[in-house]
């Protein structure tokens, strides 16, 4: 009986060891030969930009990829690369993952050195200084690289960008750069390339909106300057064509535009204007100067460009905004003064 019991216990031990061994082999194969994909909702909709620093170990890379959810097990990735003698071939750089990649696919991206195309969003109404600040924040440029390039007209090594914009009375490309999201390779980024693409986008949008330099009674510079003022003077796309018509008619009649947005551009801020601010000697102060400022004051949106190209005829001559940003139009100076007293307490 004791011998039988020992035999049964031995068989049980062997069975348990066998089960454990099979489990280990199964897990190993799952991790190495059948690596799991990244479990996310909406597979392949995730975009992860990833940077490998110079001198970083593959163990560190794998660990960070696990932390951000690109792989479920960093050790499995490290082991996969080591088994194939590839763990020393991953180099520093920018990479992009989309979610759902198996470990062999992650390894392939790392080994191929695929540079990430990252989005750079230029907001509607931004001027060159604000764009410069964004690019500097992203680590793409040194401060003022972009703004100086734009103010100097985009000339580099004798190459003039934006040949279609030849009627500019000044060199600056302020306002000629279309605001949008641009995909860029940070390893190959250049200000000139971004400016060139923004100019091309502006040209394309102008054509789509029906601008024809030969038949237009207004120059492109005038249109973009008015569009830039409309952009910052009125947020509502519905009211922008009305504001554009008021500005065009005031220009035609030789009246001052009294557009505070141009003065904000000169001062470099959008805080409440003081009496001293209002008297600022600047060609951008449309309270004391007639006509348009020397350049556009921002990159106008498509809706503001459309408003400048196709203004909505009306019989208003004045407008103001209340504390909530709501616009109030007036046909006469008397009506305008009533609006000032009622809506802004002046």
Residues 127 and 140 in one domain: yes
> Higher pLDDT residue, 314 or 323?
314
State whether 215 and 152 are in the same domain.
Answer: yes
* pLDDT of res. 112: 79
CA distance 275 to 266: 15
- The domain boundary, picked from 86, 116, 146, lies at 116
The answer to whether residues 182 and 87 belong to one domain is: no
Q: 169 and 294: one domain?
A: yes
Collapsing DSSP to helix, strand or coil, 1 comes out as coil
Q: Is 308 found in the same domain as 160?
A: yes
Q: Which of 96-110, 170-184, 220-234 has the highest mean pLDDT?
A: 220-234
Are residues 205 and 186 both part of a single domain? yes
Pairing of strands 93-97, 48-52: antiparallel
How much is the pLDDT for 28?
42
- The predicted pLDDT at position 43 comes to 38
Helical (H) or strand (E) element with 323: none
* Shared-domain flag, residues 203 and 237: yes
**Span 99-127, average pLDDT:** 85
138 found inside a domain: yes
Q: Which of 194, 198, 132 is nearest to 164 (CA)?
A: 198
Verify that 125 and 112 share a domain, yes or no. no
pLDDT at 115 over 90: no
**Rounded to whole angstroms, how far apart are CA atoms 251 and 291?**
6
Q: Which of 52-66, 88-102, 121-135, 260-274 has the lowest mean pLDDT?
A: 88-102
Q: What's CA 166's distance to the chain center, in Å?
A: 27
Is residue 246 within 8 Å of 308, Cβ to Cβ?
Answer: no
Would residue 186 count as lying in a domain? Answer: yes
The strand pairing partners of 94, in sequence order, are 51
Look at residue 42 and tell me whether its pLDDT is greater than 50: no
Domain count, the chain: 2
Quote the percentage of the chain above a pLDDT of 70. Answer: 81
Q: Kindly state whether residue 334 falls inside one of the protein's structural domains.
A: no
- Find out whether 61 and 70 touch, Cβ atoms under 8 Å: no
Q: Which of 85, 116, 147 is the last residue of a domain?
A: 116
Domain shared by 287 and 248, yes or no? yes
Instruction: Say if residue 93's pLDDT is above 80.
Output: no
126 with 202, same domain? yes
> How many whole angstroms separate alpha carbon 179 and alpha carbon 84?
46
Instruction: Find the mean pLDDT for residues 77-89.
Output: 90
**Same domain membership, residue 233 and residue 89:** no
> Contacts by 262-266 with C-beta closer than 8 Å and gap 24+?
262/229, 262/286, 262/293, 262/297, 263/287, 264/232, 265/127, 265/293, 265/297, 265/298
CA 100 to chain centre: 26
Q: What is the CATH number of the domain that holds 54?
A: 3.30.1490.480
Q: Identify the helix (H) or strand (E) that includes residue 77.
A: helix 74-83
Least confident piece of the model among 2-11, 24-33, 71-80, 106-115: 24-33
In a domain, 208, yes or no: yes
Domain boundary among 65, 92, 116: 116
What lies within 8 Å, CB to CB, of 65 at 6+ separation is: 50, 71, 74, 77, 106
Convert the pLDDT of each residue in 146-196 to its tens digit. Answer: 999 999 887 653 345 556 676 688 889 999 999 999 988 888 899 999 998
- pLDDT of 284 higher than 80: yes
- H/E stretch holding 154 reads none
Q: What is the pLDDT of residue 282?
A: 94
Cα–Cα distance measured from residue 178 to residue 228, given in angstroms and rounded to the nearest whole number = 11
The secondary structure element, H or E, covering residue 130 is helix 128-137
Residue 302 forms part of a structural domain? yes
Domain presence at residue 191: yes
Same domain, 195 and 130: yes
Q: Closest by alpha carbon to 49, among 117, 107, 3, 149? A: 117
In a domain? residue 38: no
CA dist 225 and 286 (Å) reads 13
Helix (H, G, I), strand (E, B) or coil at 334: helix
Residue 212 lies in a domain: yes
Give the structural domain span for 222: 121-314
3-class secondary structure, 93: strand
pLDDT at 162: 58
Q: What is the mean pLDDT of residues 13-20?
A: 55
């Amino acid at each position: 009986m004791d011998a039988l019991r020992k035999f049964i216990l031995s068989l049980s031990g062997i069975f348990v060891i066998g089960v454990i061994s099979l489990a280990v082999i199964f897990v190993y194969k799952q991790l190495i030969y059948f690596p799991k994909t990244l479990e996310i909702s909406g597979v392949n909709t995730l975009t992860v930009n990833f940077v490998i620093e110079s001198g970083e170990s593959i163990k560190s890379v794998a660990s960070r990829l696990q932390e951000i959810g690109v792989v479920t097990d960093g050790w499995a990735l490290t082991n996969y690369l080591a088994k194939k003698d590839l763990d020393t071939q991953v180099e520093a750089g920018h990479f992009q993952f989309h979610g759902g990649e198996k470990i062999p696919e992650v390894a392939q991206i790392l080994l191929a050195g695929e540079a990430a195309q990252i989005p750079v969003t230029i907001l509607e109404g931004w001027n060159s200084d604000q764009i410069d600040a964004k690019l500097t924040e992203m680590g793409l440029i040194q401060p003022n690289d972009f703004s100086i390039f734009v103010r100097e007209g985009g000339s580099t090594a004798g190459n003039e960008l934006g040949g279609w914009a030849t009627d500019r009375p000044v060199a600056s490309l302020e306002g000629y750069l279309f605001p949008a999201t641009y995909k860029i390779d940070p390893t190959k980024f250049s200000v000139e390339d971004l400016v060139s693409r923004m100019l091309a986008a502006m040209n394309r949008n102008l054509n789509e909106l029906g601008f024809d330099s030969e038949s237009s009674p207004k120059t492109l510079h005038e249109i973009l300057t008015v569009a830039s003022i409309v952009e910052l003077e009125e947020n509502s796309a519905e009211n922008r064509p009305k504001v554009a018509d008021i500005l065009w008619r005031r220009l035609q009649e030789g009246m001052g535009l009294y557009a505070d947005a141009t003065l904000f551009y000169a001062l470099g801020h959008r805080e409440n204007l003081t009496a001293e601010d209002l008297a600022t000697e600047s060609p951008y102060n449309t309270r004391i100067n007639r006509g348009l400022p020397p350049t556009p004051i921002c990159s106008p949106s498509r809706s503001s460009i459309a408003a400048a190209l196709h203004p909505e005829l009306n019989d208003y001559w004045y407008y103001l905004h209340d504390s909530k940003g709501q616009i109030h139009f007036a046909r006469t100076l008397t009506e305008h003064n009533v609006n000032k007293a009622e809506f802004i307490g002046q």
